[in-house]
Amino acid sequence: MAADIVLQVSNVSKKFVRGEIHDSLRDLIPAMAARLSGRSRPSNAKKDFWALQNVSFELTRGEAFGIIGSNGAGKSTILKLITGIMKPTSGHITVTGKLSALIEVGAGFHPDLTGRENIYLNGTILGMKKAEIDRKFDAIVEFSGLADFIDTPVKRYSTGMYARLGFSVAAHVDPDILIVDEVLSVGDVVFQNRCLERMNTILRSGATVIFVSHNLRAIAELCPRSILLEHGKVTAAGPSQLVMDTYLEHAGAESRQITAKEVGITRVKVRRSNADSVAYESGEKIWVDVDVDCKGPCEPFSVVLFLNDEKQYESFHTSTEYLGCQPIAMKPGDRFSCTFELDLNLAGGTFYLGVELFRFNNEELLHVMYPAQTIFVNTLTEVRGVVNPHPKVTAFELVRPAEPTKEAIKR
């Protein structure tokens, strides 16, 4: 093995057992009694779910590496295996050097503690020593731009401030390998640029960066080489541009239909406040109703809503989990419905709406309906691209130095 390989993932597979997991003694003891008396026969075979199968790749020092994949492809699982949060079912992962992950920014923050206290707490959680934090404290505060609020409990912070402080701590860890999982979507544009700059600095200092995203543009900018994960398998590897082409090709060809087993989406309806339609005005408020039926035992899941443009680029995605709802626990026979409200701030064009039932805990995709509905968006004024920020021209003035008059010339 070459000396410069800092991360080696070889033949890694990860299996999750689902179904009859007893999480209380109240359930376990009767189940064990039943098993002992031979009344029920466990049938575990079909309850296994392989989140990853035979994944292999290697990273050399100083490389920026991308992992691409749609929801449920196994991206988060591979990161959790690399960081050591979970152990692979089979295969080996060898990490050389100090590894730091920006998976959950601000994990371990406590709302009652001040910004200052949380910097120390979070920094230690991320593996820094106290003396190291003392040394970097001023830099961290300056980077976050929160100097005025540093002695305020973070429960009074806005979501953006919270994320900024979290990222600032994480960005100062000085790892040999840095894992970034779509955290750059936090904060304002100025802060985002500062984050990208910081990542570039980390790269230049010789560290290795793994960037996980389904934001293809970000991957293309940062990473020369990537792999594509689909249903837990590596289906393409090599230069990012080629890998992305494969991804887009697959996303177009396969309509990403997964047949509903235990739970299934029965209906997706897009509507105005009073009537349903397929054509909407840009900026209009729309509602998306989702109905779900449960046929067999299943584990709690969340509903994911996403919208792709004509080129299958993702315009946005969200989920009941991101929006603060608890995972949905359904029993056979139950029905569930939820409604998303959206401001349709899209540029004119055709969009495809998709809905997924997704288990965030183990990245398991239970059901996908895509395209669940096609939406045509009209704009009153012409705006091209994906979003409609409702641009207006508020000043329009041509200033030209006054042309010399004839009298002036005579003079």
Pairing of strands 364-378, 279-281: parallel
Please report whether residue 103 would count as binding another protein according to CB under 8 A.
yes
31-60 burial: b if 16+ Cβ within 10 Å, else e: eeeeeeeeeeeeeeeeeebebbbebebbbe
Among 35, 92, 129, 156, binds another protein (CB under 8 A): 129
Comparing CB distances to another protein, the nearer of 132 and 281 is 132
d(CA 103, CA 83): 10
String marking each residue 53-92 x if it binds another protein according to CB under 8 A? ---------------------------x--xxxxx-----
What DSSP state is assigned to residue 363? T
Residue identified by tokens 């591979």 is 78
Please give the size of the binding site for another protein, defined by CB under 8 A: 33
Comparing CB distances to another protein, the nearer of 33 and 125 is 125
Supply the minimum distance, in Å, between the C-beta of residue 152 and another protein: 13
What 3-state DSSP class applies to 185?
coil
String marking each residue 329-368 x if it binds another protein according to CB under 8 A? --------------------------------xx------
Supply the minimum distance, in Å, between the C-beta of residue 251 and another protein: 28
Closest Cα to residue 122, out of 133, 138, 135, 134? Answer: 133
Supply the minimum distance, in Å, between the C-beta of residue 111 and another protein: 9
Supply the minimum distance, in Å, between the C-beta of residue 257 and another protein: 28
Give, for 90, the enclosing helix (H) or strand (E): strand 90-95
Comparing CB distances to another protein, the nearer of 8 and 235 is 8
Distant-in-sequence contacts of 135-143, Cβ < 8 A, 24+ apart: 136/172, 139/172, 140/168, 140/169, 140/172, 141/115, 141/168, 143/168, 143/171, 143/172, 143/194, 143/198
Among positions 108-127, residues that touch another protein (CB under 8 A) are 108, 110, 112-113, 117, 120-121, 124-127
Read off the tokens for 187. Answer: 């904060």
Among 1, 2, 3, 25, binds another protein (CB under 8 A): 25
| CA angle (361 as vertex; 358, 363 as ends), nearest 5 | 50
Interaction site with another protein (CB under 8 A): 16, 21-26, 28, 80, 83-87, 101, 103-104, 107-108, 110, 112-113, 117, 120-121, 124-127, 129-130, 361-362
